[in-house]
Amino acid sequence: MGSIRFDKVDKIFGPASGGVKALDDINLEIADKEFVAIVGPSGCGKTTCLRMVAGFEPPSAGIVSVNGKAVTEPGPDRAVVFQQFALFPWKTVRENIELGLRNKNLPKSERDGLVAGALGLMNLESHAEAFPHQLSGGMQQRVAIARAYVLDPEVLLMDEPFGALDAQTRVVMQEELVRLARVNPRTVLFITHAVEEAVYLADRVAIMTRRPGRIKEVLDIRSVRQAENWDRHERIEDVMDLESFVHLRTQIWKSLREEKGAHGV
Amino acid sequence: MIGRRGWVGLGSVAAVLLLWFGLTTATGLVSPGRFPSPADFWLSLNQIASRGYAGGGLAAHAFQSVKLVVMGFLVAIATGVPLGLWMGWDRRAEAAINPIFLIIRPIPPLAWIPLAILWLGLGDGAKIMVIWFAAFVPSVINSFAGVRNIDRPIIEAAQMLGTPRWRMVTEIIAPAAAPMIFTGLRLSLQASWTTLVAAELVGALAGIGFVLNMAQQDIYPGMILVGMVTVGVLGWATTYALGLAERRALAWNVAGRD
């Protein structure tokens, strides 16, 4: 089980009075095993939303809860994949993936099996003993995803996970993530500023306004994906060619552009 | 194999030696009473190595000095690094300790020598204490800065993985701060040698600083130079050993490699 709920959440940075209001009355519910992407202009506070679910930041008002329990601190039930990977450079790939399992005090035999499974899932078997700096950016992010998945978390929080990757690697990783989501569905909160990525990956896309960030609208992608049977296509470019995909993408683009236009950007 | 840079380095060393020989021996521009010639140096080295000087052979004096440096340095690491890590990690610890530290820090380590001798006499204890004080400060400061400079996502990733407190220190904070810690240790080692020689000059019964002191009283330039060169070589050797330890410990850190 892993549901996420934002209930009348505000976030103010700096002093309570006179600080910068980053988020204003955020209300959003993400159901178990649902994949929700948040898109919005830079600085709108979308990453802050994720950080509150992760337990890195407390809300200034309102409640962020997972499975009905208010979030108070970080924990392995909410695994995070960071934009800059955040691997431990002094640990090998295997040790990076294993740390969370050691923290759970699992016996060695059990850890070995789980780590092997995670390595296999992300095609990392031949790099298990490498250090992160010996790997490409795409490979490093695979390690970070494996490190998150191996915890068997209730929710997976992904903060622009492919933002630091080159375009080709990015596409491969997006396809991988879709494959992963089919094999091993999770509740996912995915932050991105790439509209196509959001439409391709998510069940629903939440669009945020400029600062102070509010949720402007939430689009249902899943019903379109199922009605138009996007999943019959293996490749991302084929999906992106579909009229239904283009339509959704354009709709989100327009919505985001209004945000910028409203402020004369 | 000696590379291009190596040859340039050897060349400049050779030039200095040649200049030394030229000024003291070939031309006699510098009188041997002011600066020893290469021959004087060699004779002095021979004397202390074979027959001894100032109550012992060169090896015994060198061993005494290295022993004190290593002991003072290790005590400084054992106390300074944990304190710096703690101050970096815990803002309350920093708030409590930093003011004291800021007052003590500007006192030159050498200013502790009189007090140390008063407390512990002319034996090893006083020198180890002074070296400890000297080497302590860079250890603390750099360990502290090392923790403060850790990328926040690294800490957050560890928290997210449910890393318990002690493992957080040993497996995350300490290795993440390690490159800075080693920078501090290099400075600490340097400070250890500076302080040791000064302490031995002021009051000692053995050691390289004592050799220097005796040679000065005997007006013996050749032996003074032997003492200086010995300190240089020992300082270089200990720094090299520390460098090896660093390379080993930071094998994962490409940026730390030259």
**CATH code, domain carrying A213:** 3.40.50.300
- The H or E element that residue A198 is part of is helix A195-201
Would you say residue A215 lies in a domain?
A: yes
The pLDDT-based confidence of A198 (bands split at 50, 70, 90) is very high
- B251: closest chain A residue by CA: A90
Same domain for A66 and A97, yes or no, is: no
| Any domain includes A177 | yes
First to last CA, chain A: 42
- Record: contact B252-A54, CB cut-off 8 A: no
A74 touches chain B (CB under 8 A): yes
Report if residue B149 sits inside a domain: yes
How would residue B254 be classed by pLDDT, with cut points 50, 70 and 90?
low
User: Per-residue pLDDT averaged across A167-176, rounded?
Assistant: 86
What pLDDT was estimated at residue A238? Answer: 86
Give tens-digit pLDDT for B198-221: 888 888 889 999 999 999 999 999
In a domain, B28, yes or no: no
Chain A residues with CB under 8 Å of B146 CB are none
**pLDDT value at A261 more than 70:** no
Residues of chain B neighbouring A89 (CB-CB closer than 8 A): 252-253
Q: Which of residues 103-162 of A touch B (CB under 8 A)?
A: 103-104, 131, 133, 147, 151
H helices then E strands: how many in chain B? 11, 0
Shortest CA gap B96–chain A (Å)? 25
Same domain, A172 and A41: yes
Q: Pick the closest to residue A122 from A138, A99, A146, A101 (CA basis).
A: A146
Average pLDDT over residues A137-149: 92
Residue A265 has pLDDT above 50, yes or no: no
Question: At residue B87, does pLDDT exceed 50?
Answer: yes
pLDDT(B34) > 90: no
Q: Would the CB atoms of A87 and B157 count as touching at under 8 Å?
A: yes
Measured distance CA(B41)–CA(B46) in Å, rounded: 9
CB contact under 8 A, A90 and B154: no
pLDDT of B258 higher than 50: no
**Does A86 contact B254 at a Cβ distance shorter than 8 Å?**
no
User: Of A152, A169, A202, which residue sits at a domain end?
Assistant: A152
pTM surpassing 0.90? no
Token pair in block for residue A223: 């019903």
Within this chain, do residues A121 and A172 fall inside the same structural domain, yes or no? no
CA pair distance B217, A232, nearest whole angstrom: 94
Percent of chain B with pLDDT over 90: 69
pLDDT reported for residue B62:
95
- Kindly state whether residue A106 falls inside one of the protein's structural domains: yes
Do A108 and A50 belong together in one domain?
no
- Please enumerate in sequence order all residues whose Cβ is within 8 A of that of A257, keeping only pairs 6 or more positions apart, or say none: none
Of chain A, the percentage scoring pLDDT greater than 90 comes to 65
| Closest Cα in chain B, distance from residue A90 (Å) | 5
Residue B18 lies in a domain: no
Residues A100 and A40 occupy one common structural domain:
no
Query: Do both A105 and A174 map to the same domain?
Result: no
Confidence of residue B122 (pLDDT cuts 50, 70, 90): confident
Among A224, A189, A223, A220, which Cα is nearest to A33's?
Answer: A189
Q: Mean per-residue pLDDT for B242-258?
A: 77
Both A58 and A170 in a single domain?
A: yes
| pLDDT band, residue A260 (cuts 50/70/90) | low
Distances (CA, A) of B64 to A51, B207, B210: 57, 5, 10
Token pair recorded at residue A12: 């103010």
pLDDT of residue A78: 94
Q: How many CB atoms lie within 10 A of CB A243?
A: 8
Has residue B5 been placed in a domain?
no
A12 and A97 together in one domain: no
Residue B207 lies in a domain: yes
Mean pLDDT over A16-42 rounds to: 90
- Distance (Å, rounded) from C-alpha B194 to C-alpha B187? 11
CB nearest to B162's CB, from A91, A100, A133: A100
Q: What is the pLDDT of residue A19?
A: 85
Size of interface A-B (CB pairs under 8 A): 66
* A188 located within any domain: yes
- Tell me, yes or no, whether A214 and A164 share the same domain: yes
Over residues B139-169, the pLDDT tens digits come to 999 999 999 999 999 999 999 999 999 999 9
Q: Are residues A244 and A214 in the same domain?
A: yes
Kindly tell me if the per-residue pLDDT of A264 is higher than 50: no
Q: Which of A34-38, A89-93, B121-125 has the lowest mean pLDDT?
A: B121-125
Residues A63 and A99 reside in one and the same domain: no
In a domain, A244, yes or no: yes
Report d(CA B74, CA B185) in Å as an integer: 10
Q: How confident is the model at residue B105 (pLDDT cuts 50, 70, 90)?
A: confident
Q: Which of A87, A88, A104 sits opposite B162 (nearest CB)?
A: A104
**pLDDT average, residue stretch A16-39:** 91
Q: What is the mean pLDDT of residues A139-158?
A: 92
Residue where one domain finishes, among candidates A135, A152, A169: A152
Q: How many degrees, rounded to 5, is the angle at CA A206 between CA A203 and CA A210? A: 160
Query: What residues have CB less than 8 Å from A246, skipping those under 6 apart?
Result: A240
For residue A21, give every residue at least 6 positions away whose Cβ sits within 8 Å of its Cβ, in sequence order, or none.
A10, A11, A12, A211, A212
Contact A56 B156 (CB under 8 A): yes
Residues A233 and A120 occupy one common structural domain: no
Residue for token pair 């283009």: A246
Residue B256 has pLDDT above 80, yes or no: no
Which domain range does residue A175 map to? 1-71+157-265
Would you say residue A78 lies in a domain?
Answer: no
User: How high is the ipTM of this complex?
Assistant: 0.90
Q: Is residue B175 part of a domain?
A: yes
CB contact under 8 A, A89 and B253: yes
Query: What pLDDT is attached to residue B140?
Result: 94
Write B232-237 long-range contacts (CB < 8 A, 24+).
Answer: B234/B62, B234/B65, B234/B66, B234/B69, B234/B193, B234/B208, B235/B189, B235/B190, B235/B193
Domain interval for residue B61: 37-256
A86–B154 CB contact, under 8 Å: yes
Count of structural domains within chain B: 1
**pLDDT tens digits, A53-108:** 999 999 999 999 999 999 999 999 999 999 999 999 999 999 999 999 999 999 99
Nearest residue in chain A measured CA to CA from B163: A103
The verdict on residue A11 lying in a domain is yes
CATH number for the domain that contains residue B213: 1.10.3720.10
Of A76, A87, A147, the CB nearest to B162: A76
Domain-terminating residue out of A122, A152, A182: A152
What is the number of structural domains in chain A?
2
A77 part of a folded domain = no
- Cβ atoms B118, B176 nearer than 8 A: no
Contact B154 A133 (CB under 8 A): no
Subunit contact A80:B160, Cβ cutoff 8 A: yes
Contacts of A146 in chain B (CB under 8 A): none
Q: Minimal Cα distance from A53: which residue of B?
A: B160
Per-residue confidence at A172, pLDDT binned at 50, 70, 90? confident
Please write the tens of the pLDDT for every residue from A181-195.
777 888 999 999 889
